[in-house]
């Protein structure tokens, strides 16, 4: 029986805690004790076959263990949400429960045969490991462009306003002051719009990360 584990955090057995060391895909590549000493190391091929384990600590969370991939060492299978996956064959043992909803004609295929960049914690759909980050960066870029465009529009309107003030004769200073005040208020509003957009991006990113882990 495997010892109690918390995916992505630590393995706890007989009062001893071992912390998971993970790579970019979420695979456990090592275990460290409370003194930060590495007790175990793991190495896998692209499909999850264990190539090397140095150490004696048993853990069910190995390949992509951070995302909840659960290893049955006796069967040599990983449980990915609703389905079992065999690393020796690089495929699921049962059909995709959502059928052809993902758009793959092969209902047994694992992550569109791209295990280097994609994962499938639920056994239902594959997710690019960088999807949430890419989505976040794209959102931030859009929010910033919107704010910059807004500020540019404020500046353009201010130039036009000041030009119009030239015809006001002796009232030009007061007119120009009003235009500049309006420009400042306009740009402040643009900054608020940009900040609001960035906050939305952060919320969507947090939601994306949470959903991917929940899968």
Using DSSP's 3-state secondary structure scheme, residue 39 falls into: strand
d(CA 78, CA 114): 17
- Among 135, 106, 7, which Cα is nearest to 59's? 7
Q: Is the pLDDT of residue 85 over 90?
A: yes
The pTM of the whole model exceeds 0.85: no
Q: Where are the domains of the chain?
A: 5-128, 131-214
For residues 149 and 140, give the distance between their C-alpha atoms in angstroms, rounded to a whole number: 14
pLDDT per residue as tens digits for the range 118-156: 888 888 877 666 677 777 888 888 988 998 899 999 999
Task: Read off the pLDDT of residues 88-126 as tens digits, 9 standing for 90 and up.
Answer: 999 999 998 888 766 678 999 998 898 988 888 888 877
* Alpha carbon distance 186, 197 (integer Å): 17
Greatest C-alpha distance within the chain: 92
Q: Evaluate whether 201 touches 143 at the Cβ level (below 8 Å).
A: yes
Reported in sequence order, the residue ranges of the chain that DSSP labels E, i.e. its strands, are 5-6, 10-13, 16-22, 28-32, 38-44, 50-54, 70-72, 77-80, 83-86, 91-92, 118-119, 127-128
Residue 210, pLDDT > 80, answer: no
| Cα gap 139→91, rounded to integer Å | 34
Q: Is 83 helix (H, G, I), strand (E, B) or coil?
A: strand
To 5 degrees, how large is the angle CA 79–CA 92–CA 86? 65
Burial 31-47 (b: 16+ CB within 10 A, else e): bbeeeeeebbebebeeb
Residues with Cβ within 8 Å of 180's Cβ and at least 6 positions away in sequence, in order, are: 158, 162
């Amino acid at each position: 029986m495997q010892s109690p584990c918390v995916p992505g955090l630590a393995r706890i057995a007989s009062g001893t805690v071992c912390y998971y060391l993970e790579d970019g895909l979420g695979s456990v590549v090592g275990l460290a004790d409370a003194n930060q000493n590495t007790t175990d190391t793991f190495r896998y091929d692209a499909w999850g076959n264990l190539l090397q384990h140095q150490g004696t600590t048993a853990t069910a969370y190995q390949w992509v263990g951070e995302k909840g991939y659960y290893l049955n060492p006796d069967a040599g299978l990983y449980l990915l949400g609703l389905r079992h996956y065999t690393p020796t064959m690089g495929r699921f043992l049962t059909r995709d429960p959502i059928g052809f909803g993902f758009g793959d004609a092969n209902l047994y295929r694992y992550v569109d045969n791209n295990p280097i960049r994609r994962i499938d914690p639920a056994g239902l759909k594959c997710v690019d490991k960088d999807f949430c980050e890419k989505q976040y960066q794209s959102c931030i870029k859009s929010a910033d462009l919107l704010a910059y465009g807004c500020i540019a529009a404020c500046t353009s309107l201010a130039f036009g306003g000041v030009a119009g003030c030239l015809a006001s004769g002796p009232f030009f200073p007061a007119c120009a002051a009003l235009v500049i005040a309006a420009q400042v208020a306009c740009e402040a509003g643009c900054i608020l719009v940009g900040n609001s957009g960035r906050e939305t991006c952060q919320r969507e990113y947090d939601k994306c990360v949470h959903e991917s882990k929940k899968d």
